[in-house]
Structure 1
Amino acid sequence: MFSKIGNVIFENEAVARTSDFRMGLEIEMDRADETGHLSTEPYPDTIGDAHSNPWITEDFLVAMSEVVTPPANSPLDAMHYLYRINNALRNALAPGEILWPLSMPPIMPKDKSSDFDLLNDSTTEKRDFLVNWVKLHHGMAEALPCGAHINLSIHDHVIKLIQSQMSDTFKTDQEVKDYLYMRLGQGFVRYRWLITYLFGASPIAEKNYYDEDKGPNHPIRSLRQSHRYGYGAKFLVDYTSIDKYIKSIHDAVKKKLLIRASEGQGPIRFRGGKDLDDLKNTGIQYLELRMLDLDPTSAIGIKTNTIRFMRLLASYFIMNPPLKQSSVNEALDHANQLNDEVASEEPTHFAHQVQAISFINRLKLFVDQLQAGPEYTEVIQEMEMRIRYPELTPSAQLLGKMKNGSLVDYAVEVGKKYQESALVALRPFDGFDTTKQPSADDLKKYLFRDSFKS
Structure 2
Amino acid sequence: MDFSQRLQQISANPDALTQIGRGLEREALRITPQGGLSAQPHPAGLGSALTNKWVTTDFAESLLEFITPVSHDVDSLLTQLSDIHQFTYSKLEQESLWPMSMPCFVGKEDDITLAQYGSSNSGRMKTLYREGLKHRYGSVMQVISGVHFNFSFPDEFWQQLFGDQAEQARRDSVSDAYFGLIRNYYRFGWLIPYLFGASPALCGSFLNKSASELNFEQVGGGTYFLPNATALRLSDLGYTNHEQSSLKIGFNSLDQYLEGLQRAIRTPSEEFASIGVKVDGEYRQLNTNVLQIENELYAPIRPKRVAADGEKPSEALSRGGVEYIEVRSLDVNPFSPIGITADQVRFLDLFLTWAVLSPSDKMDDAELECWRDNWNRVVLDGRNPELLLKIGCNGERLTVQEWGQRVFAELEQVALAMDEAAGNDSYQQTIQRLKTWIDDPELTLSAQLLNQIKQQEGIGRVGMDLANAHASAIKERDFAFYSQHEFEQEVEASNSRQTEIEQSDTLSFEDFLDDYFADLK
TM-score (norm. length: structure 1):
0.86
Corresponding residue for residue 248 of structure 1? 260
Report if the CA contact (8 A) 2:176-2:254 is conserved: no
Give 1:192 shift.
1.9
Asked whether the equivalents of residues 348 and 391 of structure 1 are also in contact (C-alpha less than 8 Å), the reply is: no
- Structure 1 381/331 Cα, relative in aligned 2: closer, same or farther at 3 Å? farther
Q: Hey, what does 1:156 align to over in structure 2? A: 155
Deviation at 1:362, TM superposition (A): 3.0
Gaps of 5+ in 2: 118-122, 218-224, 270-289, 388-399, 497-521
Maintained 8 Å contact 1:386/1:392: yes
The reply to whether residue 111 of structure 1 matches residue 119 of structure 2 is no
Offset, 1:437: 3.6
Corresponding position: 1:339 with 2:375:
yes
More moved, 173-182 vs 335-344: 173-182
> Residues 213 and 132 from structure 1, CA distance in 2 versus in 1: closer, same or farther, beyond 3 angstroms?
closer
Q: Which amino acid aligns with 1:300?
A: I
Corresponding position: 1:120 with 2:115: yes
Q: Is the 8 A contact 1:18 1:314 kept in 2?
A: no
SS in 2 for 1:130: helix
| Alpha-carbon spacing, 1:407–1:324, altered in 2? closer, same or farther (3 Å) | same
**Aligned amino acid, residue 250 of structure 2:** D
Name the SS for the 2:150 alignment partner: strand
Question: What SS does structure 2 have at the residue aligned with 1:344?
Answer: helix
1:230 to 238, 242, 251: 238
Q: Is the 8 A contact 2:303 2:326 kept in 1?
A: yes
CA displacement at 1:100 relative to structure 2: 0.8
- Superposition pairs for residues 17-416 of structure 1, below 5 Å? 17-18=16-17, 20-95=19-94, 97-108=95-106, 110-112=107-109, 114-115=110-111, 117-122=112-117, 123-137=123-137, 139-165=138-164, 167=165, 172-211=169-208, 214-215=211-212, 216=214, 217-218=216-217, 219=225, 220-226=229-235, 228-232=236-240, 234-235=244-245, 236-253=248-265, 254-256=267-269, 257-272=290-305, 273=307, 274-275=311-312, 276-320=314-358, 322-325=359-362, 327=363, 329-345=365-381, 347=383, 349=385, 351=387, 352-367=400-415, 372=420, 374-402=425-453, 406-416=458-468
Corresponding residue for residue 418 of structure 1: 470
What is the identity, as a one-letter code, of the residue corresponding to 1:242? L
Does structure 2 retain, via aligned residues, the 8 Å contact 1:85–1:429?
Answer: no
Whole-angstrom CA distance in 2 between matches of 1:348 and 1:4: 32
Q: Quote the Cα distance in structure 2 between the aligned partners of 1:63 and 1:4.
A: 47
Task: State the partner residue of 1:451.
Answer: none
Q: Work out whether residues 419 and 426 of structure 2, in 8 Å CA contact, stay in contact via their aligned partners in 1.
A: no
| Alignment partners' CA distance in 1, 2:189 and 2:356 | 16
Alpha carbons of structure 1 residues 258 and 310: separation in structure 2 relative to 1, 3 Å: same
Amino acid at match of 2:403: Q
Q: What is the CA–CA distance in structure 2 between the aligned matches of 1:3 and 1:399, rounded to whole Å?
A: 37
Larger Rg: 2
Q: Distance in 2 between matches of 1:362 and 1:422?
A: 37
8 Å Cα contact 2:57-2:115 kept in structure 1: yes
Partner letter of residue 251 of structure 1?
Answer: R
CA contact (8 A) 2:7 2:414 kept: no
Aligned AA (1:314): L
In structure 1, what is the Cα distance between the partners aligned to 2:8 and 2:168? Answer: 16
| Cα gap change, 1:426 to 1:149, in 2 (>3 Å) | closer
State the secondary structure of the residue aligned to 1:149. Answer: strand
Partner of 1:209, secondary structure, is helix
Amino acid aligned to 1:324: D
Show structure 1 runs of 4+ deviating over 6 A.
none
3-state DSSP of counterpart to 2:75: helix
- Partners of 2:326 and 2:208 lie apart in 1 by 32
Q: What is the CA distance between 1:92 and its match in structure 2?
A: 1.1
What residue in structure 1 maps to residue 2 of structure 2?
2
Q: Is the 8 A contact 1:141 1:210 kept in 2?
A: no
Letter in 1 for 2:22: M
- Please say if residues 46 and 432 of structure 1, whose CA atoms lie closer than 8 Å, have aligned partners that are also in contact: no
Q: Are 1:67 and 1:82, in contact at CA under 8 Å, matched by a contact in 2?
A: yes
Amino acid aligned to 2:348 = M
- Number of residue-to-residue matches in the alignment: 428
Matched-pair contact (CA < 8 Å) for 2:354–2:410: no
Contact 1:203 1:223 in 2 (8 A): yes
* Range that drifts further, 289-298 or 310-319: 310-319
Q: Say which SS state the counterpart of residue 259 (structure 2) adopts.
A: helix
DSSP-derived class of the 1:205 partner: strand
Query: Percent identity of the aligned residues?
Result: 24
Q: 1:370 Cα deviation (Å)?
A: 7.7
> Are residues 339 and 350 of structure 1, via their aligned partners in 2, closer, same or farther at CA, if it must alter by over 3 Å?
farther
1:21/1:75 contact within 8 Å kept = no
Aligned to 1:436: 493
Secondary structure of the structure 2 residue equivalent to 1:278: helix
Q: Which moved more, 1:264-273 or 1:307-316?
A: 264-273
CA distance in 1, matches of 2:4, 2:327: 26
